[in-house]
């Protein structure tokens, strides 16, 4: 197993000083022992912007299976949410205040590819064997990608070591066969297949030396169909505690993304849509020409948590952009004071302005070029 170690000389400083010595104003230095037992210097940033953000180990180490995610997950929205959503699930077990983040280092590209294969092509494949003819639709590929995240802690012995692992299984809601056919997979089938695959993966990880007592979080992610402009979400999670060979205590993850205006299956959808329509109407009245307002809302446990707006514009004058941004800021404060809001204004020239407002806090406004 890979292990992070503090050099003996550094440990002495830690005992005397009571904290890690600073390397510059915002980093702490420790050393990482690689699989080949060679040591290399790594940094731990001192700055943690928010309590729910994990601090990474530096220099950044890319995932051992990097490259497969772009190939196997349909949209950039799903790529981002599959990673960020797994961090949210991980935070329930691995405290961001005491754990450091590192991209997955233990499931390499060859292993991930083998596990993602059909078991008719690779004995370790988790997807069903390929079928032909009329039966092809009955055996879609369920598992699209495996996301691994590593969490590390600084121990009393002043060593930084692996203390937890999270595994996200990105599952297809629609399977696209090579002949162009589409097969919609039911939520019930996704849940069944995902739970079985999660159990198999945890069992395989437990068989690796050094992983017998590493806690493992697992999450099932339902990716959206191709060309979707909203991300999928995690819908179930479980936990394999130290020494447990399978995840237990499966729980529903009630999260959802939806475009505005939202449908009636969202709580308080009338109020949400009324506010959005007023916001958009005010923008339409500000400019006589049409301005598109794309709003994506995020819900947790059926409660609206945040909205992100993307507003592409066709004018180029800085005075117009400044005026429009100030106008938008006022409307954000009027209509969305109690939830998290992000408004991005873009043109053919690229980003023009950004407004970020956390619930109950003052807004941050940036106009690019100023």
| CATH number of the domain encompassing residue 136 | 3.10.570.10
Residue pair 83/145 in contact by the 8 Å Cβ criterion: no
Which residues have a Cβ under 8 Å from the Cβ of 317 and sit 6 or more positions away?
A: none
Q: What is the tens place of the pLDDT at every residue in 195-222?
A: 999 999 999 999 999 899 999 999 999 9
Out of 223, 253, 283, a domain closes at: 253
Examine the domain organization and report whether 200 and 273 are in the same domain. Answer: no
Shared-domain flag, residues 287 and 362: yes
What's the pTM?
Answer: 0.84
In angstroms, the CA 306 to CA 340 distance is: 5
* HSE (side-chain half, CA atoms, 13 Å) at 86: 29
Domain end point (choices 253, 270, 291): 253
* Residue 159 exposed, middle or buried by CB count within 10 Å (0-12, 13-18, 19+): middle
What's the pLDDT score for residue 312? 93
Is 201 a domain residue? yes
Residues 156 and 82 in one domain: yes
The verdict on residue 49 lying in a domain is: no
Question: Which parts of 46-186 fold into alpha helices (H)?
Answer: 68-72, 76-90, 109-116
Is the predicted pLDDT of residue 108 greater than 70, yes or no?
Answer: yes
pLDDT band at 53 (very low <50, low <70, confident <90, very high): confident
**Residue 37 falls within a domain, yes or no?**
no
Angle between helices 318-335 and 269-286 (to 10 degrees): 150
Whether 23 maps to a domain, the answer reads: no
Domain hosting 276: range is: 258-367
Answer whether residue 300 shows pLDDT above 90.
yes
Do 123 and 194 belong together in one domain? Answer: yes
Q: Are residues 133 and 179 in the same domain?
A: yes
Residue 11 has pLDDT above 60, yes or no: no
Q: CA 102 to CA 150: how far, in whole Å?
A: 5
Pair of tokens at residue 314:
């066709």
The Cα-based distances of 156 to 113, 151, 159, 161, 223 in angstroms read: 38, 17, 7, 11, 41
Picking from 253, 268, 299, the residue at the C-terminal end of a domain is 253
Question: Which of the four pLDDT bands, split at 50, 70 and 90, describes residue 271?
Answer: very high
Q: Looking at per-residue confidence, does 169 or 39 come out higher?
A: 169
One domain, residues 96 and 202: yes
pLDDT of 59 > 70? The answer is yes
The answer to whether residue 148 sits within a structural domain is yes
pLDDT at 180: 78
Q: How confident is the model at residue 366 (pLDDT cuts 50, 70, 90)?
A: very high
pLDDT level of residue 304 (50, 70, 90 thresholds): very high
Nearest residue to 251 (alpha-carbon basis) of 236, 241, 263, 269: 236
Q: How far apart are CA 218 and CA 247, in angstroms?
A: 7
DSSP character string of 84-120:
HHHHHHHTTTS-TTTEEEEE--SS-HHHHHHHHSBTT
pLDDT over 50 at 33, yes or no: no
Shared-domain flag, residues 204 and 263:
no
> What is each CA distance from 140 to 115, 118, 147, 174, in whole angstroms?
15, 10, 20, 9
Q: How many domains does one find in the chain?
A: 2
Q: Give the three-class secondary structure for 136.
A: helix
Is it the case that residue 6 has pLDDT exceeding 60?
A: no
Residue 34 in any domain: the answer is no
Q: Would you state the pLDDT for residue 326?
A: 96
pLDDT value of residue 156: 73
Residue 116 has pLDDT above 50, yes or no: yes
CA separation for the pair 335, 330 (Å, rounded): 9
Per DSSP, what are the bridge partners of residue 308?
Answer: 296, 342
Q: Cβ(347)–Cβ(315) under 8 Å?
A: yes
Report pLDDT for 43: 73
13 assigned to some structural domain: no
CA distance linking residue 64 with residue 70, whole number of Å: 14
- Residue 140's nearest CA partner among 197, 199, 181 is 181
Do 122 and 199 lie in one domain? The reply is: yes
Instruction: Say yes or no: 230 and 318 in one domain.
Output: no
146 shares a domain with 67 = yes
Q: pLDDT at position 316, please?
A: 67
44/251: higher pLDDT: 251
SS3 133: helix
Average pLDDT over residues 89-117: 94
Which CATH number belongs to the domain containing residue 321 in this structure?
Answer: 3.30.300.190
Verify that 175 and 279 share a domain, yes or no.
no
pLDDT of residue 173: 95
Name, of 66-75, 160-169, 232-241, 344-353, the range with top average pLDDT.
232-241
Beta-bridge mates of residue 127: 118
pLDDT band at 2 (very low <50, low <70, confident <90, very high): very low
Structure tokens at 366: 């940036």
Range 17-38 average pLDDT: 42
At 112, the pLDDT band (50, 70, 90 cuts) reads very high
Residues 176 and 307 in one domain: no
Cα-based angle 7, 12, 15 (whole degrees, multiple of 5): 125
Query: How buried is 174 (Cβ within 10 angstroms: 0-12 exposed, 13-18 middle, 19+ buried)?
Result: middle
SS3 call for 346: strand
């Amino acid at each position: 197993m890979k292990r992070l170690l503090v050099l003996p000389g550094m440990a002495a400083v830690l005992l005397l000083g009571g904290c890690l010595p600073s390397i510059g104003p915002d980093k702490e230095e420790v050393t990482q022992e690689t699989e080949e037992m060679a040591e290399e210097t790594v940094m731990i940033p001192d700055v943690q912007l928010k309590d729910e953000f994990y601090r990474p180990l530096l220099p950044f180490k890319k995932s051992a299976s990097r490259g497969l995610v772009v190939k196997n997950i349909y949209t950039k929205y799903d790529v981002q949410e599959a990673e960020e959503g797994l961090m949210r699930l991980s935070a329930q077990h691995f405290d961001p205040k005491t754990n450091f983040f590192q991209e997955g280092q233990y499931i390499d590209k060859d292993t991930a590819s083998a596990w993602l294969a059909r078991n008719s092509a690779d004995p370790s494949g988790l997807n069903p064997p390929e079928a032909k003819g009329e039966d092809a639709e009955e055996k879609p590929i369920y598992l699209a990608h495996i996301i691994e995240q590593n969490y590390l802690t600084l121990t009393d012995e002043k060593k930084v070591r692996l203390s937890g692992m999270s595994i996200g299984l990105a599952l297809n809601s629609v399977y696209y066969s090579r002949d162009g056919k589409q097969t919609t997979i039911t939520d019930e089938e996704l849940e069944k297949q995902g739970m079985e695959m999660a159990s198999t993966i945890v069992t395989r990880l437990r068989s690796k030396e050094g992983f017998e007592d590493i806690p493992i979080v697992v999450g099932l992610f339902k990716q959206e169909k191709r060309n979707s402009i909203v991300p999928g979400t995690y819908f179930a999670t479980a936990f394999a505690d130290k020494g447990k060979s399978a995840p237990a205590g499966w729980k529903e993850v009630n999260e959802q993304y939806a475009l505005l205006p939202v449908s009636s299956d969202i709580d308080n959808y009338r109020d949400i849509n009324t506010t959005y329509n007023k916001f958009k109407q005010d923008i339409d009245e500000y400019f006589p020409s049409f301005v598109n307002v794309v709003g994506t809302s995020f819900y947790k446990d059926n409660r609206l948590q945040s909205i992100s707006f993307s507003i592409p514009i066709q004018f180029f004058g800085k005075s117009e952009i400044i005026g429009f941004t100030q106008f938008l800021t006022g409307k954000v404060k009027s209509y969305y004071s109690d939830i998290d809001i992000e408004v991005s204004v873009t043109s053919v020239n690229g980003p023009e302005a950004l407004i970020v407002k956390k619930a109950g806090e003052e807004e941050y406004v940036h106009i690019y070029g100023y």
